[in-house]
Amino acid sequence: MLLSELYKTNTTRYISDKFSETHDYVPAVYDRYFLDIKETAKTILEIGIKGGASLILWRDYFTNARVIGLDINSCKQFDKPENQYKDIFCIIGDAYSQQVVDMIPYDIDVAIDDGSHMIEDILFFIDNYLPRVKSGGYLIVEDILPEYIDMLHEKVKDLDYYMYENNATREDNNLLVITKA
């Protein structure tokens, strides 16, 4: 099953901008990259969890994975017993600090930065989280502003990467996927 197919089964459960009028990452990019690791992925990390719906989407899709959500704000949406999942873990802290990076394991299959969207944090994410992604895994940056694209092309030019650019719906509908060698 494609991620977009799962998403469509319960759009109220998976309320996220990853498959919306503003961003089309699920059908345009994630369906292609995630299908082959759906059953084998063990660790998914997302920075910037907002309401937490994408964590639930990752948990339901990557059936054998633990999902780690990282946010500077509270993860209180998972405090209620009916909203607790044995495979979703939240870390409250600044994802762009070495103290928090040191808490992250080295076996990540997919690491997604949907946090601050500021260039200095994106560069920190690439430098500090890519070493924690396992070989064959993906490091992904969402919601990239057009003025950052050339700088990011230069930053990752020697890596295996794909830059999805679609500014038709919104100027920051751009996404970077790095495949770890």
Q: Which residues pair with residue 163 across a beta bridge?
A: 176
What residue has token string 């998972």?
78
Give the Cα separation of 181 and 134 in Å (integer).
8
- Sequence-separated contacts (24+) of 84-93 with Cβ below 8 Å: 85/56, 85/59, 87/59, 88/52, 88/55, 88/56, 88/59, 90/49, 90/52, 90/55
CATH code, residues 3-179: 3.40.50.150
Q: With 80 as the cut, is the pLDDT of residue 121 above it?
A: yes
Give the Cα separation of 70 and 151 in Å (integer).
25
Question: Closest Cα partner for 45 from 147, 122, 94, 113?
Answer: 113
pLDDT tens, residue by residue, 71-114: 998 777 776 666 667 899 999 999 999 999 999 999 999 999 99
Q: Where are the domains of the chain?
A: 3-179
| Global pTM value | 0.94
CA 38 centroid distance within chain: 15
pLDDT tens, residue by residue, 13-46: 888 888 887 899 999 999 999 999 999 999 999 9
